[in-house]
Copies of this chain bind each other. A is one copy, B any other.
Amino acid sequence: MAKKSLPLSKVYSLLESGPTVLVTTARNGRSNIMAMSWHMMIDFEPPLVGCVISDQNYSYSLLKATKECVINIPTLEIAEQTVGCGNTTGAKTDKFATFGLTASPAKQVRAPLIEECYANLECRVVDTKMVNKYGMFVVEVVKAWIAPSVKKPETLHHIGKENFMVAGKHIKLKSKMK
C-alpha cells in the first residue's frame, strides 16, 4: 500500500478513537506482531502514547530489550489476520509468514512496518518507569506514515473476547476540542 509521511502533529487523530492496533518489534533479525487495544494518547507533539503490554506477551521482552516498535493500524480488510496475531504467540509462530502479512523496513527504527495496515507509527520507548507496576510503556512516535488512498478507514475496536466494533459513520460536531 503506497504511503506518505504524516506530520507528527496529526498522529493523535489516528489513535484517540481507540482502534485495535498491531505492534511490531524486531530483535536479532526476527520480527514479531502483537494485537493491542490498551493504549492512549498522552501528548500531542511530540506524540506520546501509553501502551499496556502484559509480560505474558512475547513482544513484552522484545520491546523492553530494543526500546523500539511500530504501531500499525489495521482495518476491516485484515480483521482475521489481526485477531490471528492476537491468538498466537511469537515465541512459536512467525506471524508475518503465518498470516500472509508483508514486512517493510521502517526509516527510524528496526521494527518493520506492516504494509497491509493503512497507517504505521515508528516509535521509541521514552519512559519505562511504569513497566514493572502496570506493564505500561510510554513511547514517542518519531515517524508516521499514512496511505492517502484510504479515505475512511474501517478500524477495529475491541469490545471484549470475540467481539469487535467496526468504525461506523462519521459525524461533525461544532467542537473547539483539538
Contact = CB atoms under 8 A, between A and B. Distances in A.
Oligomer: number of copies: 2
Given A166-B169, A168-B167, A169-B168, A160 B83 contact: no
Given A83-B177, A173-B164, A16 B18 contact: yes
Interface string A130-174: 100011101000000000000000110111111111111111111
Interface string A58-88: 0000000000000000001001100100110
Interface of A: 10, 12-14, 16-19, 35, 37-43, 48, 50, 52, 76, 79-80, 83, 86-87, 130, 134-136, 138, 154-155, 157-178
Given A16-B159, A164-B171, 15 more contacts: A13-B163, A16-B157, A17-B158, A17-B165, A38-B42, A42-B52, A42-B135, A42-B136, A83-B175, A162-B174, A164-B170, A164-B173, A165-B169, A166-B169, A168-B169
